[in-house]
């Protein structure tokens, strides 16, 4: 009788293992169209991991003290909502975007792999620019975006007095790829190094201002409709070793006092390779770049500065190279 009880116990445990294995197999074999919906106005207060297909139905916020990790191969898609509709956590138009956002007040680590990126995109069947708002960092630090792809956002990555590394990412068909500004009510200042990214076919590439001082290094910034890089009222920024070509304007500057633009290929942009806007009264140092031509007269034709408008500063392009800068762009 004792042996029979042991056998029965073993059999029950064996059947339980089989049932659990079957359940796991069903999950693994779920249709590729299956996704996890995150409800609008959802607030993440504990450390969380996302993987697979995640669909956001409105604003989602990672609260201070919490970390969201997004695993390689994950797709985060945003449902298009009405501008500042009921699905929004905030209707503050200064620091938020009209449509659904992933708001980071805690910490985000979205770290894909070269052949398995993390994707942020529209959930619509026929996506269009600005279907969703932004991955919006507000007063947060120690964030990482690496091997991610962003498409159809308003400003797909935006930092309000936050710190985030943006590396090896691809941006296309967004209103603006990356934006940043400092917020007076937040003591932290923006720190957003941008390296080895492909930024192409957006309305605008990189937009920064409000005292921010980014490092923009080794990026391909191409074929953006209005501008490659737009700096306004920025801090001490460094723009080095980038390929900036085929944009409406390569680099636009407004009220910028201290910026270093060196060792880039800035050529074949449609209107100007560099354009100083009204209010850019400060001179600009831009030595050692390739401008698509070797002689000063040809270079000057594609730069808008004091030569065209006496109220503007002067672009100093001495030491310009006679051929494209080796090692600029992606390496």
Q: Has residue 105 been placed in a domain?
A: yes
pLDDT band at 294 (very low <50, low <70, confident <90, very high): confident
E strands, 129-257, in order:
135-138, 143-146, 148-151, 155-160, 164-167, 170-172, 176-181, 194-195, 198-200, 204-209, 215-217, 220-222, 227-232, 237-240, 243-245, 249-254
For the chain, what percent of residues have pLDDT higher than 90?
84
For the chain, what percent of residues have pLDDT higher than 70?
90
Q: Which residue has the higher pLDDT, 32 or 292?
A: 292
Domain count, the chain: 1
Domain residues for the domain of 55 are 31-192
Q: Which residue has the higher pLDDT, 269 or 3?
A: 269
Q: Has residue 54 been placed in a domain?
A: yes
pTM of the complete model beyond 0.85: yes
- The burial of 72, by beta-carbon neighbours within 10 Å (0-12 exposed, 13-18 middle, 19 or more buried), is given as middle
pLDDT of residue 84: 97
Q: Has residue 69 been placed in a domain?
A: yes
Q: Has residue 68 been placed in a domain?
A: yes
Q: Has residue 95 been placed in a domain?
A: yes
User: Coil, strand, or helix at residue 27?
Assistant: helix
Q: Has residue 46 been placed in a domain?
A: yes
Q: Has residue 327 been placed in a domain?
A: no
CA atoms within 13 A on the CB side of 47: 1
pLDDT (tens digit per residue) in 133-182:
999 999 999 999 999 999 999 999 999 999 999 999 999 999 999 999 99
């Amino acid at each position: 009788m004792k042996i029979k009880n042991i056998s029965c116990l073993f059999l029950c445990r064996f059947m339980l293992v089989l049932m659990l294995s079957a359940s796991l197999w069903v999950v693994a074999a779920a249709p590729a169209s299956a996704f996890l919906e995150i409800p609008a106005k959802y607030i993440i207060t504990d450390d969380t991991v996302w993987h697979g297909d995640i669909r956001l139905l409105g604003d989602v916020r990672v609260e201070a003290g919490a970390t969201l990790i997004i695993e390689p191969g994950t797709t985060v898609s945003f449902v298009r909502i009405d501008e500042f509709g009921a699905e929004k956590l905030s209707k503050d138009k200064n620091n938020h975007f009209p449509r659904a956002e992933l708001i980071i007040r805690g910490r985000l680590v979205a770290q894909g792999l070269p052949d398995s990126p993390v994707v942020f995109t529209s959930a619509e069947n026929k996506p269009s620019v600005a279907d969703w708002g932004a991955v919006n960092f507000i007063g947060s630090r120690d964030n990482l975006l690496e091997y991610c792809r962003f498409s159809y956002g308003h400003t797909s990555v935006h930092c309000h007095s936050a710190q985030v590394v943006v590396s090896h990412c691809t941006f296309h068909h967004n209103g603006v790829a990356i934006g940043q500004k400092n917020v007076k009510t937040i003591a932290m200042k923006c720190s957003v190094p941008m390296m080895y990214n492909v930024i192409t076919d957006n309305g605008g590439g990189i937009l920064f201002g409000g005292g921010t001082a980014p490092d923009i290094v080794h990026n391909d910034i191409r074929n953006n409709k209005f501008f490659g890089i737009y700096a306004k009222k920025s801090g001490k920024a460094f723009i080095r070793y980038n390929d900036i070509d085929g944009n409406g304007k390569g680099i636009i500057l407004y009220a910028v006092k201290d910026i270093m633009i060196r060792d880039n290929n800035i050529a074949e942009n449609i209107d100007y390779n560099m354009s100083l806007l009204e209010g850019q009264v400060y001179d600009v140092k831009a030595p050692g770049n390739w401008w698509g031509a070797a002689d000063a007269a040809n270079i000057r034709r594609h730069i808008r500065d004091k030569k065209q408008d006496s109220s503007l500063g002067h672009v100093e392009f001495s030491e310009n190279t006679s051929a494209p800068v080796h090692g600029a762009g992606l390496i």
